[in-house]
Amino acid sequence: MKRLICGVNFSDKSLCLSENEFMVKYLDIDIAGNKKCDLSFNDDDLPELFVINGDAKVDCFAVVKIIRKNEKLSISKIVVVTSHFSKIVKIHTEYNKDTYYCALDEFNNEFVINLLEKKALKNEIYEISLREDNSISKSFLSNYFITLFKYITNLKLLIEEMYSIIYFVTNADLIMIMMPDNLQTRVFIKAFKEISSNNIDDMLKFAAHDHFTIFKYLNYDYIEKIYSSDSKRDLNESKKNIDKILNSYFYTIIPDINGNPIATLHLGSFITNNFSSDSFMLALQELSFKMGFFIEKALNYEKVVNEGKELKTLFSKFIPSDIIDKMIEEGKVEREPERKEVAVIFSDIRSFTNITEANQPDDVINFLNNYFEEMVTRIRKFGGRIDKFIGDAIVAVFEKSENENFADNAVLAGIEMAKGLKKVDISRIKLPESGFGTGIGIHCGEMILGNVGSEQKTAYTMIGDVTGKAEELEGDTKKYHKHILFSKSIFDRLKIVKSKAYKIDEDIFSIDIPEENNEEC
């Protein structure tokens, strides 16, 4: 009796098998066009095998599902023939029960015919896997990993995508990838079978022992478990939660491009799994090297992002965020020396010497810190950065830019600073009779900006007489009984607040501080 084979989506009807042994029936299943396909067979004449053309435009995964929904065809085996490596991995990962694949560098009907005649006669469904044929493993893995470049900016997503290829190569039921994170360890966990948390903890004991043998400097007590989304869901939703016995376990080192350990890969199986054959070891070695390349790239990206965040946090109180972002983007913590037009605020607390003499050191420092916090926030709000603190004095700089008027920003920041004095906590200090107040002087001009200092201590600062002029104007605030004074150079460049400014003396201008109920200036 001839054996029935169904060729699915072979439009050229090219499965020319031996007529003595096989009878071929061709089917077209067009999922996209909702074309109905006749899958009715007599009980005594069911197809032994479905051969699906995976390179056809039709979704081969949907075709597999349609066949599997037919209860009569549950005993039929399915072979998907394709040259698309991503399809092969998905088939192996999601449809591995009686669903096989034939991996070809190029689609070749003659090869398919030959394989079916030779293998089907012996009732052996052919499955080219990396463990059986290492000759295709390197090119296959290279093709698959090329698709992972887009995930290098997200380590967790990269690992999620790697689970499929790991399962494809190893058939492991439980996969763990462990990697150092400073002094702690991150463990990425993926289960391909319904298991309990006890199963995971049991394997983690073996994995941790091997991992910490390689990375001896890590703290054994700090392990962060990171489950794949479906593994965590399965653990939470599993009602049976049946404990299984781990029958096979294997681990290997994942190296960086220099061959140094960067992570470890741990494989577990609840059935006897040959984790030690020569073909398996060759395939796993190639897999681990490719994983190491991508994981190293992702870790380097993660490191750069984290360093950027730390740098931004460190300097955020003193340097505007756009300047920090530019420094991070250029990969430079130091800026090149330059000559630039800037506006400078010089602010000083009046009678501060009397305050220091009348109060305890702790109270003075707490008061100053609270004062600086309020002032710096307002300076940065208008794009300024702190050049330096000189005792109780603040020197802030506003750099000229194409997008904003630096003179307006400096004056607006000065107004905000004056209004912010009411927010400073003075409840724990003794003030002089004159009370708590400040003077603010503002001037602009060209300055040289750059890093100045020695090997032991360097500071990014300004060189020029603009700061000295701003300090003189601050001193004159007491003489003219004004909170803010600025130079004619500032006045000439004002646009937003120019109508509110007025002349006090030759080349000296001021502006009034708005009341709290009138925020506009």
SS3 107: coil
> Tokens representing 59?
């979704």
pLDDT band at 159 (very low <50, low <70, confident <90, very high): very high
CB 406 within 8 A of CB 342: yes
Q: What is the pTM of this model?
A: 0.51
DSSP of 385-440 = EEEEEETTEEEEEEE--SSS-HHHHHHHHHHHHHHHGGGS--TTSPPPTT-S-EEE
Position 418 scores a pLDDT of 95
Task: Calculate the CA 167 to chain-centre distance.
Answer: 24
Site of tokens 């999922």:
31
Assess whether pLDDT exceeds 90 at residue 392. Answer: yes
Percent of the chain with pLDDT over 70: 74
Question: Could you count the other beta carbons within 10 Å of the beta carbon of residue 285?
Answer: 14
Q: Which own/partner contact pairs does 276-285 have at CB distance under 8 Å and 24+ positions apart?
A: 276/250, 277/131, 279/131, 279/132, 279/134, 280/131, 280/170, 282/134, 282/137, 283/130, 283/131, 283/134, 283/137, 283/169, 284/169, 284/170, 284/252, 285/252
Note the pLDDT tens digit of each residue in 35-91: 556 677 777 778 877 888 777 777 777 787 788 778 788 777 777 777 665 555 555
3-state secondary structure 274-302: CCCCHHHHHHHHHHHHHHHHHHHHHHHHH
Nearest-angstrom CA–CA distance, 254 and 289: 6
Note the pLDDT tens digit of each residue in 244-282: 788 889 999 999 988 899 999 999 988 776 677 777 787
Nearest residue to 52 via CA among 3, 116, 1 = 116
Assess whether pLDDT exceeds 60 at residue 437. Answer: yes
**At residue 504, what are phi and psi to the nearest 5 degrees?**
-105, -45
- C-alpha distances out from residue 493 to 330, 409, 486, Å: 31, 11, 11
Nearest residue to 429 via CA among 505, 501, 370, 345 = 370
Question: Could you count the other beta carbons within 10 Å of the beta carbon of residue 98?
Answer: 12
Position 100 scores a pLDDT of 58
Note the pLDDT tens digit of each residue in 75-97: 777 777 776 655 555 555 455 45
> Tokens representing 123?
């009732």
Q: What is the dihedral of CA 509, 515, 516, 518, to 10 degrees?
A: -90
Least confident of 131-145, 156-170, 225-239, 337-351: 131-145
Note the pLDDT tens digit of each residue in 448-507: 988 788 877 777 778 899 999 999 999 999 999 999 999 999 999 999 999 999 999 999
Helices (H) and strands (E) in the chain, counts: 14, 18
What mean pLDDT, rounded, does the chain reach? 79
pLDDT band at 219 (very low <50, low <70, confident <90, very high): confident
Position 121 scores a pLDDT of 40
pLDDT band at 18 (very low <50, low <70, confident <90, very high): low
CB 128 within 8 A of CB 169: no
**At residue 414, what are phi and psi to the nearest 5 degrees?**
-60, -40
Question: Which residue type is seen at 123?
Answer: N
Quote helix, strand, coil % in the chain, to nearest 5: 40, 25, 35
Nearest residue to 182 via CA among 222, 214, 227 = 222
Position 517 scores a pLDDT of 47
Assess whether pLDDT exceeds 60 at residue 193. Answer: yes
Nearest-angstrom CA–CA distance, 181 and 288: 19
- Note the CATH number of domain 335-510: 3.30.70.1230
- Note the CATH number of domain 3-128: 3.40.50.2300
Position 24 scores a pLDDT of 76
Question: Could you count the other beta carbons within 10 Å of the beta carbon of residue 316?
Answer: 13
Nearest residue to 328 via CA among 307, 303, 297 = 307
Domain ranges of the chain: 3-128, 140-306, 335-510
pLDDT band at 25 (very low <50, low <70, confident <90, very high): confident
Q: What is the dihedral of CA 352, 357, 361, 363, to 10 degrees?
A: -60
Nearest residue to 186 via CA among 279, 254, 275 = 254
- C-alpha distances out from residue 336 to 339, 397, 448, 461, Å: 10, 17, 11, 12
Nearest-angstrom CA–CA distance, 490 and 468: 15
> Which residue did the predictor score with more confidence, 400 or 220?
400
Site of tokens 């708590």:
436
3-state secondary structure 445-470: EEEEEEEEECCCCEEEEEECCHHHHH
CATH topology classification for 140-306: Beta-Lactamase (3.30.450)
